[in-house]
Amino acid sequence: MMKTEGIQWWKAGWGRVVPGSLLVLAALTGCGGGDGGAGDGRPAELPEVRVHRVAGHEFVQRRSWNGTLAPLRSVTVQAPLTGRVAELLVEAGGRVGVGARVVRLEAPELEAREAVQAERLALAEEEWNEWRRLGELNAAGAAEVNAARLQWLEAREQSDQLAGQLEGREVRAPVVGRLVEWLVRPFSEVTQGQELAVLEDLGSIGVRLVLPAREAEDLGDGAEVRLVAGDLGELAVDGLLVQAGENGFVTVELTTLAEVAGPREVEVVRERRTKSLLVPWTAVASDGDDQWLAVVTDNGEIERRMVQLGQVDAAGVEVVEGLTAGEMVVIHRPRSLAEGTRVRAREESEQPEDEA
């Protein structure tokens, strides 16, 4: 008769009785198979996801406008005195520097007065010298000597004034420029203040744009602005002037020190560089107007993080709020991972274990 408190188990080489409870445990142990998984006593392997570690990125915003590069201002050369044009010293289209002679005038009336005044000055000086000689001989008093001296000083002052006026016979350029046209001809009569010639101010080479006020703001505030002029390449902007206009528009003048022959088409390029956080486009998920990212937390769990996005470029999209440098975001299919899912993160630069 079989004993109820135990089961006798016979196997080759075994000759002992195994308790019933151990037999049941052995049977359960053998049911798991040998393919690993949860039944082999090892923890289940976490799903691997590719992640991007958030870092700073330089964004470049670029805008451009088309315009014409040419002198922005012109000046007129005026006659400093009344007279006659004796000689035109620069041809139309010629370049002049500051102080260069442009036209020579004749002033017959002033020249005649200068000759008379020169005689007066010589007589006054001769008279003063004579009174000084008499004073040294005690034949004239100090008052008489001083009166002669004052007459000489007055004559010299008048001579200097005439000489200054006659210096205007050679009219000089007030700026570095190019002579656009003559307004007078040789031997023509001119009056003081009359315009003689028009000069392009080569110190005002630039572009004039009429823009909405909001666009003009893009050209300031630390933005990098340059001019691209075809075969001349890039030209540095030397000055920027914004003048108020009407109906929400303003006039913007950008000048350069480059020398340009004649008007030419040019592109005004504005670039603004800012540094902020960047994530790949594929990492962004949207729910209506809300955008979020699947962030891998320090303990390896998925957190759906609401973020505010900004500007974009070829490398990805800017994250303005909601993310910190150094955090990791899932690159692909963020919707496939539920909140709280534990994962094994592999950064973009890492190789899979079977390829390492």
* DSSP-based three-state secondary structure for 238: coil
Q: List the domain boundaries for the chain.
A: 48-58+275-347, 64-72+203-273, 108-168
**CA separation for the pair 178, 311 (Å, rounded):** 46
**CATH tag, 108-168:** 1.10.287
CATH number attached to the domain at 48-58+275-347 = 2.40.420.20
Q: Return the pLDDT at 192.
A: 92
What pLDDT does residue 13 have? Answer: 40
Extract long-range pairs of 93-96: CB within 8 Å, 24+ residues apart.
Answer: 93/178, 93/179, 93/180, 94/178, 94/179, 95/176, 95/177, 95/178, 95/179, 95/202, 96/173, 96/176, 96/177, 96/178, 96/179, 96/199
Q: Which pLDDT value is given to residue 20?
A: 43
Provide the token pair at 14. Answer: 């075994």
Q: What mean pLDDT do residues 179-206 have?
A: 94
Q: How far apart are CA 101 and CA 103, in angstroms?
A: 6
In this predicted structure, which of 26-40, 69-83, 115-129, 296-310 has the lowest mean pLDDT? 26-40
Percent of residues, the chain, with pLDDT higher than 70: 85
Give this prediction's pTM.
0.53
What single-letter DSSP state applies at residue 318?
A: E
Q: What pLDDT does 272 receive?
A: 80
Q: Would you state the pLDDT for residue 42?
A: 55
Just give the CATH number of 64-72+203-273.
2.40.30
104 forms beta bridges with 87, 170
Q: Tens of pLDDT along 244-281?
A: 888 889 998 988 888 777 788 999 998 888 888 999 99
